[in-house]
Amino acid sequence: MTHIIQGSREQEHAVLRAMYAARKSVFVDLLGWDVPVLAGQYEIDQFDGPQTLYLIAAEPDGTHLGSMRLLPTSGPNLLGDIFDCLCEGAPPASETVWEISRFCLSRDLRAAQRRQVRNRLVTMAAQFALDNGIASYCCVADMPWFSQILSFGWECRPLGLPQMLPCGMTGAMEILIRADTAARMAEAGVWHEEPVHFAAAAAA
């Protein structure tokens, strides 16, 4: 199943709780990020609030498969508030430019499953932008993830030169959403419209 959920710091939504727990597993336990952890279980920072939107791929029982966080750059966001040094000029600040952050894939997925979930999430992001008048996304990424983003077929432009930060070589980019974005992503082999789930196949 796929979900578009507006956030809440109260964690009352089971799918959100599973997402926050998966983020803690990936970003804190695996990657060693020095970020806040709530109740020893959930990775939540100052940009997770009632205004935040999440695109989430999950099993029918709510098990997290993958997710991303979306915020309009007209308000607080990771690039503008923390990583503005990565932008050659002023960071984006517009109702029509949104930020993608906390792209998270479950650690339990096999490589082929990770690609399916990744493709489903980036398709959801592009479709959400097309449906809601979002002209572009911006994001902060380390170099391996930066390279993946460039390979998705959509049109990208760097916002500045990559820099060596404590987390490694990191850059910022803008992802332009145009009328031909879906076709470009399909040509690149990443457009994936159908929800993904693996539990039924594993149980068969």
Instruction: Tally the domains of the chain.
Output: 1
Per-residue pLDDT tens over the stretch 160-177: 999 999 888 999 999 999
Per-residue pLDDT tens over the stretch 67-99: 999 999 999 999 999 999 999 999 999 999 999
Strands 136-142, 97-105: parallel, antiparallel or unpaired by DSSP? parallel
Kindly state the tokens that stand for 204: 């068969």
pTM: 0.93
Kindly state the tokens that stand for 66: 């993958």
Whether 95 is in a domain gets the answer yes
What pLDDT does 12 receive?
59
Whether 200 is in a domain gets the answer no
Whether 201 is in a domain gets the answer no
Q: Which residues lie closer than 8 Å to 37 by C-beta, 6 or more apart?
A: 24, 28, 43, 44
Q: Which residues lie closer than 8 Å to 60 by C-beta, 6 or more apart?
A: 1, 197, 199
Distance CA(138)–CA(127), nearest Å, equals 16
Residue 116 maps to which CATH number? 3.40.630.30
Whether 166 is in a domain gets the answer yes
Inter-residue contact 192 to 116 (CB < 8 Å): yes
Give φ, ψ of 132 to 5 degrees: -125, 20
Residue 102 lies in domain: 2-192
What pLDDT does 204 receive?
35
Whether 97 is in a domain gets the answer yes
**Spans of the chain below 50 pLDDT:** 201-204
Whether 204 is in a domain gets the answer no
Whether 203 is in a domain gets the answer no
